[in-house]
Structures are given as structure tokens and as C-alpha cells.
A and B are shown apart, each in its own frame.
Chain A
């Protein structure tokens, strides 16, 4: 029986020639990730367990991004707890806010060249599934798993079944990776890929940029998937040749292809030409609609950023659309470049001036409002169009507030019009 891309990566990391869906395995990990919310409980477990040392200080990433810059005294204490641990164990990939390497974890791990094709990664953050865009296996875990993995460099997995998603054709103008993944989640539901891999195939992949693929894999968790994964192609190789030229030239990665007789529990075909600009209305990411079908839905706030849509391409697209436009009176538009590097490029290339002229507020990189942390919390009755990933009850603030998930072009158009809108309207 053939294996999927995910199964092959897991087999290699478990040191077995083959495996099948349902097998319980223990796998070596190339990288282990935590943030300022999930790492402190992991440190407490690490200490209770009496682990003395981390397995490899160069393979652990501890990223302060959720409540940073520290929003209050308690979050400052969480950040300090992680900082002290990072210092004590000489963790290589720990950065303070402002460091050009810092930013939102799932933006910087690929952009900083920490993740390469064929790697196996776990992170104590559900959006760790982002790195499948590079042909890596990555998935989210909790703090106890993080603690054990920091000590051993290994963790256990149940080998997942897979859903084959075939992407055909070319997306329409302004339709992005965000629309493709929202469209898919709308088709299969928030538990449509529960415990499974989403494996992407098809000629349409060559029409999706790396940043678009990262957005798609980022939201694989929103339909319950264990991971999402793209095959490696020229776009991937070109991307990693820039993120870590040394590792790239040494061939420090492995390209996995699914066997032709690999088994899939379901096959889904998506014609990219037919994917519309898509929004998810409250309170589930699967509650999708064609953006153009939404009429007279007034908004109070727009958020452009997050691990889903805070990458260079997202911020650049937002600035192109905002050029010469103004945020509608009474609307707050918060732009959050996803990393210090994206922020700096936005400065150097004049994008921040465009946002400022349009009447946006520009934030430091942070997860901030996406999870209702800080930097843009909603009051009762307020409605926000957001390029983030979840619109659950109370996600961005009051339980009586609403979040509408969208791509960057719909978010900009909505900010300019003051209601849910599409870019052809501005």
C-alpha cells in the first residue's frame, strides 16, 4: 500500500520503512515551537518532570507574540517566565519584540528559514499546521506535549488518514489563498477533516504564491485537520533559497511525493476559477458566503494581519488597494504587519505612509486582537471584518460582538465603504 506525503514524512521521522493510517508511532522532531501563552505552563511541566536539559537548544523556538508587547502585569510575567527559560537553556530562536527576527510565530518560522521541506514540527499553537505549505509535516499540540518534546525531541502521533484536495485552474482577480481555504471549509465544515491530513494536488497549485499556500495550510485546523500539506515545486524551492541560502545550497531538505497508490478517504476537486471572494459570517469559519452577496452589513472595525494574513504579500496588497482611499468615517482600521521584517519592508517601500494617509492605525507585530488579547478588542454589538482565522463567540472581545472573516481585498474594501464590500466597489 502506498503512502501519502504526510505518511512518508512521519515514517522517515519514526525510522520505519512504511506505516499506515491508524498506526501509533513515535517520531523525531526537527523543530519545536511555543509562545508566551502556551510555553509558561510547559515550563512548569518541564520542571515538575525534573527534566534538566532541553534536547537541543538550536531546535526550539520560543516566540513572544500573543500578548506582546506585554499588555498587562500578568502577561509581562508570562513573557518573563519564557524569557528566563530561554536564557537559562540558551534557546537559539528566542527573540525580543523589536528584534528584526521577531514577529508572529507562523509568519517568522518560514520567513526566517527555520522550516524547510520534509521537516517534522510540533508547536503549542493550533496554527502550527501553517508549515505544510513548504512540504513539511507540522501540527499543533498542547503545553504538556511541548514540555515532553522540549526534553526528548520526540513525540507520539497517530498516523492520519488523508483527504485529497485537487486544485485546478487559476483564481480570479483579488481571490487569494484565504478565499480558497474559506471556500473549502465552507464545503466540508469545521470538522470535515477531523484527525486527517489535507493533501493538496493539481495544476492550480502553480497559480498560488507561497504566502497564499501558507494562508491555506494555516487554516487547515479550522476544518479539524491534523495538518495541511502542499507538494514541493519551483515556487517552494525559490522561497527557501532566499530564507536560508546556506541550508538550501547544502541540500538540507527533503522533497516527499505521495505514492501513486496512496489511499485517500475522500477526494475534493476545486476549480479555482470558480472560487468567489468569500467571507465567513459569525460564529463559525464554515459559515461562508459569497462576499458580493452580503448587502448593507455595517461594520465598526477592520483588522488586517495575523498568522493567517500578516505576510509581506498581504500587507503589500492592502497598501495597493488603500492607495488614494480613506477609511470610512466611524470605522477603525488596524493594520498589523506580521513580523518586524514585514513591518520594516512596509516602511521602506512606503506602505506605512499609504496606511497612515488612509486613516489606518499601524500596530507592532502581535497576535493581539485575533484572539481577543489586546490592540483592538470589540465592545458589545460591534462588528469587525478581519483577515484572521476564527470568528467564534467572543473571539475578539465581547460575546455580543461579531467577527466576519475575509481576505485582504475584502477587508480593505470594507474599511473604505464602512460595510462588507468587495474591491470592485472602491
Chain B
């Protein structure tokens, strides 16, 4: 599966409190959550993001609270992929479970700048920077995780597996 879009760039340690502040956790509706995604560090994000765009950040993306609302909000906003040097472990797990594609790639995280046009291939783990004419290699997902993401998350994946039984 391939995705492509414009990069939104953030720093290290983007925490789940800024991805979706707790004051909005009285709703779990993706359509409401996406309106407030990244609001506390990038108030313009919800207005600027376009379907397919890519989020790029530094180390320890998604640290802090276990709120699954965080990857749900990012996915609902239209982001097709999050690239980071590495991810906090609960966020990593939640992203896979809700079907938000993520890639760990320190090189891409260092080199990509806001506004760069990025393409990525989940099968090979290749990330292409069309603006800078560079490419970066991330480790591809193991098959079972790729399947979960392809299906749009653990709920759909488990539903499909059940049908196959």
C-alpha cells in the first residue's frame, strides 16, 4: 500500500495531551476529536490538513496518556501516515489497533521539513521525499501488523478473521 501527501513537522516528545487535550475526552467521536487534533501546539492544524497528508516528528512520539483518542484523532484528521524516530509504546500499540499507519525512521525524521511532499510504501518500508529528492528506509511491518493496518484496525481485522473461520 502506498500513501503520499504534504508533511506536517513536529519536534521530539509530542505527547498525547497535545495531540488531543483531555478537555475533549468527553467525546470519543472521531469527527469531534479531529477538530481539536494538535490544537495546543498547532492551532491551525485542523484547518490546514488535507486527506493523505503525513505527520513527521522526532523521538518518543505519543508519550504520556494511554488515550486511544490520540491516534483516532490523527487518523480522522486525514493523516495517512505518521513518521517518527520512535514512538512511545502505548501509542504504537494503539495506532496499530485503530489502523493508523506509523513508521519508525530516524533519518526521515531528521531530513523531512514541513511542506515537503512525501510518499511511502508500506510493503517495502521505503519513504520518498519528492521535494528534496531523497529516500529513506524504515523497517517494514511484520505481516500480521500490516494486515491489521490494511483492514483499518483490529476491529475490522478480527471481524474478517472470524468470517474466515
In the complex, whether A45 has a CB less than 8 A from a CB of chain B is: yes
- Chain B nearest Cβ from A393, distance in angstroms: 6
Contact partners of A263 in chain B: CB under 8 A: none
Interface of chain A, main secondary structure:
loop
- Chain B nearest Cβ from A322, distance in angstroms: 29
Q: Is the CB–CB distance between A284 and B13 below 8 Å?
A: yes
CA distance A187 to B64 in the complex (A): 18
Name the residue of chain A whose CB is nearest to the CB of B85.
Answer: A191
In the complex, whether B114 has a CB less than 8 A from a CB of chain A is: no
Q: Mark A124-161, 1 if CB is under 8 A from B, else 0.
A: 11101000000000001111110010000000000000
With A38-B67, A74-B26, A141-B66 known to touch, is A194 a contact of B90 (CB < 8 Å)? Answer: no
Contact partners of A224 in chain B: CB under 8 A: 60, 63, 88-89
In the complex, whether A113 has a CB less than 8 A from a CB of chain B is: no
- Chain B nearest Cβ from A94, distance in angstroms: 19
Contact partners of A390 in chain B: CB under 8 A: 15, 17, 64-65
A351-401 CB contacts (< 8 Å) to partner B: 371-373, 390, 392-395, 399
Q: Mark B1-44, 1 if CB is under 8 A from A, else 0.
A: 00000000000010101100111011110000000000011000
Q: Is the CB–CB distance between A144 and B68 below 8 Å?
A: yes
Q: Is the CB–CB distance between B68 and A392 below 8 Å?
A: no
- Chain B nearest Cβ from A200, distance in angstroms: 19
Interface residues on chain A, size class: 35 or more
Q: Is the CB–CB distance between B22 and A371 below 8 Å?
A: yes
In the complex, whether A312 has a CB less than 8 A from a CB of chain B is: no
Contact partners of B64 in chain A: CB under 8 A: 126, 221, 390, 392
In the complex, whether A121 has a CB less than 8 A from a CB of chain B is: no
Contact partners of A49 in chain B: CB under 8 A: 155, 158-159
- Chain B nearest Cβ from A373, distance in angstroms: 6
Q: Is the CB–CB distance between B154 and A373 below 8 Å?
A: no
In the complex, whether A292 has a CB less than 8 A from a CB of chain B is: no
CA distance A166 to B25 in the complex (A): 39
In the complex, whether A204 has a CB less than 8 A from a CB of chain B is: no
In the complex, whether B153 has a CB less than 8 A from a CB of chain A is: yes
A-B contacts at CB below 8 angstroms, number: 117
Q: Is the CB–CB distance between A144 and B63 below 8 Å?
A: no
Q: Is the CB–CB distance between A142 and B158 below 8 Å?
A: no
Q: Is the CB–CB distance between B65 and A126 below 8 Å?
A: yes
With A48-B155, A78-B26 known to touch, is A394 a contact of B18 (CB < 8 Å)? Answer: yes
Q: Is the CB–CB distance between B65 and A371 below 8 Å?
A: yes
In the complex, whether A103 has a CB less than 8 A from a CB of chain B is: no
- Chain A nearest Cβ from B89, distance in angstroms: 5
Contact partners of B53 in chain A: CB under 8 A: none
Q: Is the CB–CB distance between A194 and B88 below 8 Å?
A: yes
Name the residue of chain B whose CB is nearest to the CB of A44.
Answer: B28
Q: Is the CB–CB distance between B18 and A37 below 8 Å?
A: no
A282-327 CB contacts (< 8 Å) to partner B: 284
CA distance A44 to B158 in the complex (A): 15
Contact partners of A392 in chain B: CB under 8 A: 15, 17-18, 64
Q: Is the CB–CB distance between A144 and B26 below 8 Å?
A: no
In the complex, whether A195 has a CB less than 8 A from a CB of chain B is: yes
In the complex, whether B98 has a CB less than 8 A from a CB of chain A is: yes
Q: Is the CB–CB distance between B18 and A126 below 8 Å?
A: no
Q: Is the CB–CB distance between B17 and A393 below 8 Å?
A: yes
CA distance A44 to B26 in the complex (A): 15
Contact of A142 among B15, B63, B66, B155 (CB under 8 A): B66
Jot down 25 A-B pairs with beta carbons below 8 A, ordered by A.
A40-B28, A41-B68, A45-B155, A48-B159, A49-B155, A49-B158, A66-B25, A125-B65, A125-B66, A141-B66, A141-B90, A142-B90, A142-B97, A142-B98, A143-B94, A144-B97, A144-B155, A145-B93, A190-B13, A190-B63, A221-B64, A224-B63, A224-B89, A372-B21, A392-B64
Closest 8 CB pairs of A and B: A74-B26, A142-B68, A142-B94, A191-B60, A144-B97, A126-B66, A394-B40, A371-B22
Which residues in A have some Cβ–Cβ distance to B below 8 Å? 37-38, 40-41, 44-45, 48-49, 66-67, 72, 74-75, 77-78, 123-126, 128, 140-145, 148, 190-191, 194-195, 221, 224, 226, 284, 371-373, 390, 392-395, 399
Which residues in B have some Cβ–Cβ distance to A below 8 Å? 13, 15, 17-18, 21-23, 25-28, 40-41, 59-60, 63-69, 86, 88-90, 93-94, 97-98, 153-155, 158-159
Q: Other CB < 8 Å A-B pairs besides A41-B68, A66-B25, A395-B17, 12 of them?
A: A41-B69, A72-B26, A74-B26, A123-B66, A142-B68, A143-B68, A144-B94, A191-B59, A194-B86, A195-B89, A224-B89, A399-B41
